[in-house]
A and B are shown apart, each in its own frame.
Chain A
Amino acid sequence: MRKIEKRIPSVSTASLPDIVFMLLFFFMTVTTIQDTEILVDNTLPQAIELTELDKKDRIIEILVGKPSAEFANLLGSEPRIQLNKKLSSIADVRPYVLSELTKKPEGIRKLVTVSLKIDENVHVGIVSDIKKELQEINVLKISYVANYGNQSSSLD
C-alpha cells in the first residue's frame, strides 16, 4: 500500500491584510484624534436623556475640574477651568470664547454650542459663573456633557 501523505493544510493568510484594513478603516471612521490634552480631572456626571452633538465644527469646549494629580502639588486642589490647552481663570472665558467664535465661518456662528465638560465633583458656583460670562457675550446654547448612566444610582 502506498503511503498516503497526510498533512494538515496550512491556513491561508492571504486575506489577513484585508481583515486588518477593515479594522483600520473602522477605527479611522469612529474615532477622532484628541487634540487637547486634559489637564483637569474630568469624571463626567451621569444622565439618561442625552442628545448627541455630532457637528464637531460648531462646538467650543470648556473643561472644568480639579487639576490632575501631576499638577496637584503645584496648583492645589481648587477646581480650574481648562480652555484649549491652558488652565485659566474665569476672566479668560469671555476672550477665549470670542476668539474661538471668530475662527468659525460666519454662517455657523449663531449655531455654536458651548459644550461644558465639567467634573461631577465640582461645585455649581463655578458653573453658574461660566454661564453668566456666556450670557454677557450672548452665546446662549450650552450643553452639559454627560455619560450615559443610571439616573438614580449616581449619588446616593
Chain B
Amino acid sequence: MGRNRQVPEINSGSMADIAFLLLIFFLVATTIQNDHGLIRKLPPKPDRTIIDIHERNVFRIILNKENQLMVEGELIEFKDLGKEVISFLDNGGEVGKCEYCLGAKSKDKSDSPLEAVISFQSDRKALYGTYVRVQDVLTTAYISLRNRESKRLFGTDFKSMEEAYLKPETNGELKETLKKRIKTIREMYPMKISESELIFKS
C-alpha cells in the first residue's frame, strides 16, 4: 500500500510571539547591574596605633558640617583639592629619597610619597555625597601620579595595566610581568589615607 505519509510540520508562526513574551518578561524583571565603587580597605580594629610621623608628612583634610573643605588649616575650593594633593605627594622634600618626584621640593610638604599620609576627617553632619567626592579626588590624584610613572617606566597607563592584568585571557609570563610592574608602581605611590583621629605630640 503506497501511502504517502508526511510528518506534518509544526507551525512556527507563533515562535516570535513566545520570544517576545519572554523578552518583555526579562525587560521588566531585571535591572542592569550597577556595582561600581571606590574600593577601600578599613584598618584593623585597634584603631589607635602610635606611629611617629613628621608633621610635614601629613596632609590634613577636614570636611565640616557645612560641606566645606579645610586643607592644612586653610579653607579651599573643591576644584583646587586635586592640585594640592598632587603637589603634596609629589613634593620629594628630602634629597635622594624620591628621584622620580617632580614636585617643588618644599620644606613643609612631604619628604617622599612613601612617607606621605593623607588624613581625612569628616564631620558626622557632612553629606555623604561630598565625602565620596573627596575620596574620588584623592583616588584621581594617586592614579594620575601612578599613570605618569608607569608611562615613564613601562610606556603604558597604570589603569590599562590593571585592566589587562584582570582580564581572563592574560596568563602565564605576561601576567607575571604585569603583576610585578603593578606592584612596583604601587610601591612608588602607596595609597595611605587615614580616617582615624590624629593626635599630635606637643
Interface residues of A (CB under 8 A from B): 13, 16-17, 20-21, 23-24, 27-28, 30-34, 44-54, 56, 59, 113, 115-116, 118-125, 127-128, 131, 134-136, 138, 140-148, 151-152, 154-156
- Among B41, B129, B139, point to the contact of A120 (Cβ < 8 A): B129
Given contacts A17-B19, A32-B31, 12 further A-B contacts (CB under 8 A): A20-B16, A47-B132, A118-B128, A120-B127, A124-B124, A127-B128, A128-B195, A131-B42, A143-B35, A144-B40, A148-B36, A155-B67
Is B37 in contact with A115, judged by CB distance below 8 angstroms?
yes
In whole angstroms, what is the CA distance A99 to B169 when docked? 35
Is B39 in contact with A146, judged by CB distance below 8 angstroms?
no
For A34, the chain B residues whose CB sits under 8 A away are 29-31
Is A124 in contact with B125, judged by CB distance below 8 angstroms?
yes
In whole angstroms, what is the CA distance A73 to B47 when docked? 39
Q: How far is the CB of B121 from chain A (nearest CB, A)?
A: 10
In whole angstroms, what is the CA distance A156 to B179 when docked? 40
- For residue B96, CB closer than 8 A to chain A, the reply is no
Is B78 in contact with A146, judged by CB distance below 8 angstroms?
no
- Among A16, A116, A136, A138, point to the contact of B16 (Cβ < 8 A): A16
For A31, the chain B residues whose CB sits under 8 A away are 26, 30-33
In whole angstroms, what is the CA distance A59 to B79 when docked? 33
In whole angstroms, what is the CA distance A47 to B131 when docked? 11
- Using A154-B133, A155-B67 as known contacts, say yes or no to A113 and B39 having CB atoms under 8 A apart: yes
In whole angstroms, what is the CA distance A151 to B140 when docked? 10
Q: How far is the CB of A7 from chain B (nearest CB, A)?
A: 22
Closest to A114 in B: B42
- Among B33, B125, B132, point to the contact of A144 (Cβ < 8 A): B132
For A13, the chain B residues whose CB sits under 8 A away are 16
- Among A52, A124, A135, point to the contact of B127 (Cβ < 8 A): A124
Is A49 in contact with B35, judged by CB distance below 8 angstroms?
no
Is B45 in contact with A136, judged by CB distance below 8 angstroms?
yes
Pairs A–B under 8 Å by Cβ, sample size 22 = A20-B19, A20-B20, A32-B33, A44-B34, A47-B139, A53-B37, A56-B35, A116-B37, A122-B127, A124-B63, A124-B126, A127-B131, A140-B41, A141-B41, A143-B38, A143-B40, A144-B37, A144-B38, A145-B36, A146-B36, A147-B36, A154-B129
For B45, the chain A residues whose CB sits under 8 A away are 135-136, 138
Closest to B67 in A: A155
- Among B23, B125, B129, B133, point to the contact of A24 (Cβ < 8 A): B23
